[in-house]
């Protein structure tokens, strides 16, 4: 465990010094402040516009950090050949993956904390008291970041930086559309025989589609912006179930990344 913590701490220090990270944070803070203008221009309630826009910006900023910073954590070590020094020690390779992952999670938590502070100050400036349910939305944004970071590490363990970024963005887009897959299958089963031109799905095609659905995380589970902004109720165990759902995908992706990374030859 000490080796993992040392790697996590070094990854945290290295990432905090990255100029790209600062640019992303400042750009995000600027967009959150810009939500003040959007709230004044909008025909809807200023408070709701600011909350919805700020949470969306925090989610997209987390995506950019997870993709570009997460992929760079391993790729920099490979390009600089410093990974050879680390792997020459009696250190299991999965320690390296988990340590890098934990270090990036610390960076994401720090930056999300800064953005949350700015977000709450913006709300206070317009006379709105931040509600506790906003913290639930921000927590699920962080959990979504954690899942995407695990995906980025998985792809960076065996692919190039460009392809890893493309694959990770693809998983992000597919994850937000994943919920529509089962809805579409259900629609075909109900109305496929009645509507002309509706495609017929065979048994093996349906199994493949369902397999893709269960491999790709349904990222819409982490999106509760609408319910938080408009004070709609959540299920009693929604946050707990979603946390377990995200943790299961994180564990699966880290295990696959560790197995793949352990077989990779860097010489």
Q: Indicate the pTM of the whole model.
A: 0.83
Name the band, by pLDDT with cuts 50, 70 and 90, for residue 202: low
- Centroid of chain to Cα 217: 10
The pLDDT score that the predictor gives to residue 59 is 85
Name the DSSP class of 216. S
DSSP string, 24-81: HHHHHHHHHHHHHHHHHH-SS-HHHHHHHHHHHHHHHHHHHIIIIIHHHHHHHHHHHT
Which residues have CB under 8 Å from 49's CB, separation 6+? 35, 38, 39, 42
The predicted model gives 7-36 an average pLDDT of 70
In a 13 Å sphere around the CA of 165, the CA atoms on its Cβ side amount to 10
Q: What percent of the chain has pLDDT over 70?
A: 76
pLDDT in tens, 133-159: 889 999 999 999 999 999 988 888 877
CA-based nearest residue to 162, from 82, 76, 96, 68? 68
Helix (H) or strand (E) holding 229: helix 225-229
Name the band, by pLDDT with cuts 50, 70 and 90, for residue 266: low
The predicted model gives 30-50 an average pLDDT of 66
Instruction: Please tell me which residue, 56 or 140, carries the higher pLDDT value.
Output: 140
């Amino acid at each position: 465990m000490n080796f993992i913590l040392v790697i996590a701490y070094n990854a945290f220090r290295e990432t905090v010094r990255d100029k790209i990270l600062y640019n992303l944070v400042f750009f995000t803070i600027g967009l959150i402040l810009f939500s003040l203008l959007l709230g004044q221009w909008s025909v809807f309630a200023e408070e709701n516009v600011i909350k919805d826009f700020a949470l969306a910006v925090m989610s997209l900023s987390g995506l950019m950090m997870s993709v570009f910073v997460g992929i760079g954590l391993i790729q920099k070590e490979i390009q600089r050949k410093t990974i050879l020094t680390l792997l020459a020690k009696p250190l299991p390779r999965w320690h390296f993956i988990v340590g890098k992952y934990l270090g990036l999670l610390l960076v994401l938590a720090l930056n999300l904390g800064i953005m949350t502070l700015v977000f709450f100050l913006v709300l206070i400036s317009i006379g709105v008291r931040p509600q506790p349910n906003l913290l639930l939305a921000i927590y699920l944004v962080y959990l979504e970041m954690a899942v995407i970071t695990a995906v980025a590490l998985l792809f960076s363990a065996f692919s190039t930086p460009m392809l890893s970024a493309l694959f990770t963005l693809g998983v992000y887009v597919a994850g937000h559309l994943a919920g529509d897959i089962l809805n579409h299958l259900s629609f075909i089963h109900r109305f496929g025989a009645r509507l002309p031109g509706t495609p017929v799905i065979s048994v093996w095609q349906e199994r493949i589609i369902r397999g893709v659905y269960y491999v790709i995380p349904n990222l819409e589970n982490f999106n509760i912006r609408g319910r938080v902004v408009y004070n709609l109720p959540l299920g009693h165990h929604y946050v707990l179930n979603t946390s377990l759902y995200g943790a299961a995908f994180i564990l699966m992706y880290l295990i696959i990344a560790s197995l793949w990374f352990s077989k990779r030859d860097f010489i």
